[in-house]
């Protein structure tokens, strides 16, 4: 779906008329891609944290950091909550920065950035699973 949004962005130049049908169509493909990611994170990996509820993730990280500071680092549960939270925040902020830079520099072609990142991630995961399978070890999902 990200690849379709990227391809349509390259061909339709929707930024010229951002409220017209082509722009809405491109946006809907991007929204569908986010919905698939969100559903996957809720249904497939048992320990996955949601990446779609950033307000909740921000609150969890902030309260964990506050508890760490208040306990002078002795609160083990707070350190564990922080360890689970900070990668989501870093990824979200990094994604926002990359998205803003791509939109500024690439205009309609910016949709290619998440599509290329998603394909690269998929290739990396498939290689990791293939390598783990050859070694006889468990795959990242434990199967």
Per-residue pLDDT of the chain (143 residues; tens, 9 = 90+): 888 888 888 888 877 888 888 888 988 988 888 888 777 776 776 666 666 667 777 888 888 999 999 999 999 999 999 998 888 889 888 888 988 898 889 888 887 888 888 889 889 999 998 888 777 655 555 44
pLDDT of residue 132: 81
Q: Domain-by-domain residue ranges, the chain? A: 2-135
pLDDT of residue 143: 47
DSSP symbols for the chain? -HHHHHHHHHHH-GGGSTTSHHHHHHHHHHHHHHHHHHHHHHHS-TTPPPSS-HHHHHHHHHHHHHHHHHTTT--HHHHHHHHHHHHHHHHHHHHHHHHHHHHHHHGGGGGHHHHHHHHHHHHHHHHHHHHHHHHTPPPTT--
pLDDT of residue 20: 86
With a threshold of 0.85, does the pTM exceed it? no
């Amino acid at each position: 779906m990200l690849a379709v949004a990227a391809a349509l962005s390259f061909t339709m130049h929707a930024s010229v008329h951002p409220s017209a049908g082509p722009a809405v169509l491109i946006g809907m493909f991007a929204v569908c891609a986010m919905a698939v990611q969100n559903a996957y994170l809720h249904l497939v990996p048992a320990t996955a944290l949601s990446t779609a509820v950033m307000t909740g993730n921000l609150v969890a990280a902030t309260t964990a950091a506050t508890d760490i500071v208040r306990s002078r680092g002795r609160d083990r549960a707070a350190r564990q909550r922080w360890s689970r939270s900070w990668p989501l925040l870093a990824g979200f902020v990094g994604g926002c920065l990359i998205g803003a830079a791509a939109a500024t520099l690439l205009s309609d072609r910016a949709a290619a950035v998440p599509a290329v990142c998603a394909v690269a991630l998929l290739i990396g995961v498939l290689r990791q699973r293939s390598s783990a399978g050859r070694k006889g070890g468990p795959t990242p999902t434990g199967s």
